[in-house]
Structure 1
């Protein structure tokens, strides 16, 4: 068991991930139990030996298996780069093959092709009620959507910085909403600081965690959201700050090409 913080150069920042390098013989129940014991948002399990810089990866939160986890992917890639040399890797994940490049303690992954769909009005109402927000708190230039680049994330963009900073959430109520909709990851709430600079808060109630410090899959989904709605001129590079609200600030760099998967880049460092 190894522990890395992703999307940061500081072990006390970013999003901590567990990494198990030899889980080929572990059952899903065993991996879930380990993830619950670790207590991080996700733990990555290498389920096939490294062969020609390719491995199989599965992800578990303390609550359930997660189809894809960006911060644990970045952390695992940085670790493998340290042990086997910088360069490219391929991770076979439950959502498909994910290509990565590593260098100097950083890793970039290319997501699967994103999918962005309408978020039904009833779902928007439910999310706003959960967060204690109103319709007029939303940025009219960034409408609510369901965006997926591995995991589906409902996306809400809040116009006012104070309202973005001030919302709170009941974790039990949030878990009921996520489970009822079959959303395995986070509720993504974003505030636009500048045209290509955003701050995100990702509601993710698992174990003792209510809010995820840095969410790579949500960053990829948000990149797909921006492209699908024509909100950036592609190719574009977007910066996302996350984790300030839970005392673990991190930084995610999102490259949005004209087509195909979204590229998410971040650093990772060992914890302890």
Structure 2
């Protein structure tokens, strides 16, 4: 068994979000996958099994728990396979449903794209919203006046928390234990997307990730997809549209995530990935 290491949503080894990738995980138990993910310590690691032709099964593990879906580890997997076999398409069976992953050569390096499951956007209960903001240590004056706090799903449920300006985003300092308890109670097992709009379809984001045992995720493909679904549902973009999300600079691993927003259906998340060795 070979454990690969890739940084996704970047073109440099010290950027993006690192992921472990195991392309031959058929002989591993869930406990062994969890132990590998914990040892690596990355936000998530991906494990491929039951590969036959153009289809396979994928599972995702954070250091402390299995995660239903992970964007950056899927992108890392797509590029890792392309590095070995060339560009192509793979249909992945995931805990949240089937997921198509394409890889292509762009100017001498591989870029992978995935199409999410059908998104949905929901209102957050007022009491839960109050608790969320309290644990994020954000006041009403810190929030963007034109973009509400909502829940958005494109594989994982992500609270979308738009803030007023870059200064609020830079100063984010949340209550880790309190947010972790709230997210466990609500069944939110991914990240909270705290975002700031830089332009009509350009955002920067910070993503606390207590459920995975990670204080802050450097690049979150599923959260970027959920943000795209949120913007479409609110009429903030005119599909087909392209959303760009900048993330990771606050933790020293800058990343860029590209989201294609169609008129209907799942959104497309795209990015490059680079091998970061042992």
Query: Could you state the TM-score of these two structures normalised by the residue count of structure 2?
Result: 0.95
Unaligned runs of 5+ in 1: none
Matched, 1:220 2:225: yes
Query: What is the aligned partner in structure 1 of residue 74 from structure 2?
Result: 73
Query: What is the aligned partner in structure 2 of residue 196 from structure 1?
Result: 201
Deviation per residue, 1:107-137 (Å, 9 max, x gap):
0100001011001111111111111111122
| SS of the residue 2:164 aligns to | coil
| SS of the residue 1:47 aligns to | strand
My pick for the range that moved more, 250-259 or 17-26, is: 17-26
Give, in angstroms, the shift of residue 207 of structure 1.
6.8
Say if 1:6 and 1:269, in contact at 8 Å, map to a contact too: yes
Counterparts of 2:212 and 2:162, CA distance in 1:
26
Say if 1:41 and 1:206, in contact at 8 Å, map to a contact too: no
Counterparts of 1:55 and 1:140, CA distance in 2:
44
Aligned length: 271
Aligned residue runs from structure 1 range 1-272, under 5 A: 1-49=3-51, 51-104=52-105, 105-205=110-210, 209-272=214-277
Give, in angstroms, the shift of residue 206 of structure 1.
5.7
| SS of the residue 1:48 aligns to | strand
Deviation per residue, 1:192-230 (Å, 9 max, x gap):
011111001110026763000000011111111111111
Counterparts of 1:97 and 1:208, CA distance in 2:
27
Say if 1:77 and 1:102, in contact at 8 Å, map to a contact too: yes
Say if 2:258 and 2:270, in contact at 8 Å, map to a contact too: yes
Say if 1:137 and 1:159, in contact at 8 Å, map to a contact too: yes
CA-based RMSD of the aligned residues comes to: 1.2
Unaligned runs of 5+ in 2: none
Query: Could you state the TM-score of these two structures normalised by the residue count of structure 1?
Result: 0.97
Give, in angstroms, the shift of residue 4 of structure 1.
0.2
Counterparts of 2:193 and 2:216, CA distance in 1:
10
| SS of the residue 1:264 aligns to | strand
| SS of the residue 2:50 aligns to | coil
Deviation per residue, 1:37-56 (Å, 9 max, x gap):
1110101001212x222111
